[in-house]
Amino acid sequence: MGIHVLEDQVIAQIAAGEVIERPASVIKELTENALDAGASNVHIEVTGSGKKLIRVSDDGHGIPSEEVELAFARHATSKLQTTDDLMAIQTLGFRGEALASIAAVSHVSLTTRHQSEATGTKLLLEGGRIQQRKSTGAPRGTVITVENLFYNTPARLKFLKAENTEKRHIASVVTRYAMAYPNIRFVLHQDGREVFRSGGTGQLSDVLVAALGLDTFKDMLELPALDSERDSISVVGYTSMPSIQRADRSRITLFVNGRWVQDSSLSYAVVQAYHTFLMKGRYPVAVVMITVPPDLLDVNVHPAKAEVRFQDPNAVFAAVQRAIRRAIIDHSETPALRGGRSFSDFNWDEDTAPQKTWQMGLGIEMESPGSFSHQSSGAERETGYDHTIPFGPTSPARPRTLPMLRVIGQVGASYIVAEGPAGLYLVDQHAAHERILYEQFMLEYAQKEPLAQFTLSSQTIELPAPEARLIEENIDVLQAVGFKLEPFGTNTFVIRCIPALLSDQDPLEAVGGIIDELEMGKTPGHASIEEKIIQRVCKQAAVKAGTVLSMQEMQGLIRQLERCQSPLTCPHGRPTMLHMSSDELAREFGRK
């Protein structure tokens, strides 16, 4: 095939592929146009995943009637004229590609009235070609309706995700812009149901309550006003207390001059500010607004404008890190026990305090591997102390996979020391218990008999819109492993049941703990998302490092580990034990 110039229609569809990746991309571009037009109200309506219908309405200044057709031409924009303007961009859009790209892959209806005109204009396009234009009555502003998205690009249509996944992406886009522009009222309707609304009060805190939920926001810290290395760099926003943490960086939301950006360096600055406050592999929730002079910033480095380049990235990095670190340090508090009492509220009398105060009953019964018993005597209920549950005979139903071990003691309230015919064993009590619980849970799950525990009283959990759509998408998966949640309002659910293994935990914490796993979805090494959730449940339920165990509890745990199919690792692949043979011990003591 010889070299030739592509047809305009093909060029338009190729360009659209760079800008319009999914329905959420359409909403992003149309929302940015509404904000640039000075809108104070933005209403987004979506049907299904956005493939059928997307409608974005605003009350901005509108498009002049003589410029309506020109607005859909490629590289047509009112936001810059010369290359010098690229060096000081103060608008969200500037390339003039969004409307042309959207129109090239959908059916578009535009109704607009400029603030200086008495009547509006309606324009219909299919595949980028104008089909109809007429005058019409309309309020000031613009309404753009996008239907049959990707109807002429089946390859792009095929790669869209499940409907609920696309809904989550849409909700994320809308909530992010509501955070960036708290003075503007945003409303999102999906399938005729309102799923998000911001009040437009101008207070970021009000938007965060709507976007993140009150339970999360009450543990957020406002960033202090600090003098940066350059007075021109401003950092404001909120970041979470160390007690609120997630499994990935997806809850770190960054804005630069009102534009949501993805910047690994700035994300690292946020994470680095939590050094010594968070465990490795755990990340905070943060909403950070960075403002720099437009001439010190290049936003023209990414097709979707999701990345920016700073003239002095080190100064911005330092400003973000210092603001977040100062917020954490200023609000550091003594850890509190559940119920809000701090450790200083308890007065221990070593002579009269029962020894059981320092023990936590695992409730591991030998004849029922990994199961929890929550029965206690009246005296124990009065004192609030757990009682060590007696163990019955070991069940011979499962073959032994380890030699019989004799427990010697415990090291650091975390490791069990045992001896066997082949030498010395050091067992990680948390990893070992996690393995026991996991194999029991998987056996029950395979038999379709997962044990669920009804909550004593119905509790409700309010979630951000993207997380609520995530729960809806996986409602059947959750029920299969013991979580029963029922919708109760827009983004609220009633918790009816949780897995029996978690029956001694707060149901809100139990449900919150699985959201991270659902967000990351199925990962390599997992046969299904259910298996991943089960691993998380077992990790939450397993005895923690730092728990002092009785000799009976340690021996019971070891007996059950001896009969696990894979006793040498926890479900996540970490070792459950270290082994030192008799010969190795002899060599260490110079006997060989």
Q: Is the pLDDT of residue 45 over 50?
A: yes
Mean pLDDT of the chain: 80
Task: Identify the band that residue 457 occupies on the pLDDT scale cut at 50, 70 and 90.
Answer: low
Question: What local confidence, expressed as pLDDT, does residue 514 receive?
Answer: 81
- The residues with which 410 forms a beta bridge, in sequence order, are 416
List phi, psi (to 5°) of 480. -65, -25
CB 425 within 8 A of CB 474: no
Q: Say how far apart CA 337 and CA 335 lie, in whole Å.
A: 7
More confident of the two residues 135 and 368: 135
Percent of the chain with pLDDT over 70: 78
Closest CA to 387 of 399, 395, 396, 375: 375
Question: What local confidence, expressed as pLDDT, does residue 341 receive?
Answer: 36
Question: What local confidence, expressed as pLDDT, does residue 373 receive?
Answer: 33
pTM: 0.69
List the domains of the chain with CATH numbers: 8-200 (3.30.565.10), 219-330 (3.30.230.10), 396-579 (3.30.1540.20)
Summarised one tens digit per residue, pLDDT across range 58-111 is: 999 999 999 999 988 877 766 555 565 556 566 776 666 888 889 989 999 999
List phi, psi (to 5°) of 16. -65, -35
Question: What local confidence, expressed as pLDDT, does residue 450 receive?
Answer: 59
Mean pLDDT across 494-509: 82
Assigned token pair, 222: 């406002």
Q: Is the pLDDT of residue 451 over 50?
A: yes
CB 306 within 8 A of CB 255: no
Q: Which CA distances in Å does 405 have to 332, 415, 417, 469?
A: 44, 14, 10, 48
Task: Identify the band that residue 397 occupies on the pLDDT scale cut at 50, 70 and 90.
Answer: low
Closest CA to 58 of 27, 34, 36: 34
Task: Tell me whether residue 408 is exposed, middle or buried, using C-beta atoms within 10 angstroms of its C-beta: 0 to 12, 13 to 18, 19 or more.
Answer: middle
Task: Identify the band that residue 522 occupies on the pLDDT scale cut at 50, 70 and 90.
Answer: low
Assigned token pair, 561: 């580990």
Rg for the chain, CA atoms, rounded: 29
Q: Is the pLDDT of residue 355 over 60?
A: no
Assigned token pair, 573: 């692949």
Q: Say how far apart CA 62 and CA 194 lie, in whole Å.
A: 25
Q: Say how far apart CA 338 and CA 334 lie, in whole Å.
A: 13
More confident of the two residues 521 and 584: 584
Q: Say how far apart CA 587 and CA 592 lie, in whole Å.
A: 5
Summarised one tens digit per residue, pLDDT across range 129-159 is: 999 999 999 999 999 999 999 988 888 888 8
Question: What local confidence, expressed as pLDDT, does residue 365 receive?
Answer: 46
Summarised one tens digit per residue, pLDDT across range 327-337 is: 998 886 434 43
Question: What local confidence, expressed as pLDDT, does residue 537 receive?
Answer: 87
All residues at 6 or more sequence positions from 252 whose CB lies less than 8 Å from its CB, including other chains: 267, 270, 271, 283, 284, 285, 286, 288
Q: Is the pLDDT of residue 343 over 60?
A: no
All residues at 6 or more sequence positions from 147 whose CB lies less than 8 Å from its CB, including other chains: 52, 53, 54, 106, 107, 108, 109
The DSSP element (H or E) to which 365 belongs, if any, is: none
Q: Say how far apart CA 247 and CA 513 lie, in whole Å.
A: 10
Summarised one tens digit per residue, pLDDT across range 176-229 is: 999 999 999 999 999 988 999 999 999 999 999 999 888 889 989 999 877 555
Q: Say how far apart CA 96 and CA 74 lie, in whole Å.
A: 6
Q: Is the pLDDT of residue 578 over 70?
A: yes
Structure-token match 């708290």, residue found:
182
CB 273 within 8 A of CB 329: no
CB 42 within 8 A of CB 184: yes
Helices marked H in 95-192: 98-104, 154-158, 163-180
Percent of the chain with pLDDT over 90: 37
Question: What local confidence, expressed as pLDDT, does residue 378 receive?
Answer: 35
Summarised one tens digit per residue, pLDDT across range 161-191 is: 888 889 989 999 999 999 999 999 999 999 9
More confident of the two residues 42 and 375: 42
Q: Is the pLDDT of residue 230 over 60?
A: no
Q: Is the pLDDT of residue 526 over 70?
A: no
Assigned token pair, 435: 């393995």
Task: Identify the band that residue 447 occupies on the pLDDT scale cut at 50, 70 and 90.
Answer: confident
Structure-token match 């030998």, residue found:
366
Closest CA to 137 of 109, 110, 113, 108: 113
CB 149 within 8 A of CB 26: yes
CB 235 within 8 A of CB 213: no
CB 550 within 8 A of CB 388: yes
- The residues with which 142 forms a beta bridge, in sequence order, are 58, 112
All residues at 6 or more sequence positions from 153 whose CB lies less than 8 Å from its CB, including other chains: 13, 16, 17, 105
More confident of the two residues 495 and 78: 495
Assigned token pair, 210: 């709507």
Closest CA to 466 of 176, 192, 52: 176
- The residues with which 336 forms a beta bridge, in sequence order, are 342
Question: What local confidence, expressed as pLDDT, does residue 387 receive?
Answer: 32
Assigned token pair, 65: 């009637």
Indicate the residue type of 121: T
Summarised one tens digit per residue, pLDDT across range 264-305 is: 899 999 999 998 888 888 899 999 999 998 888 877 666 666
Q: Say how far apart CA 263 and CA 332 lie, in whole Å.
A: 28
Residues in the chain: 592
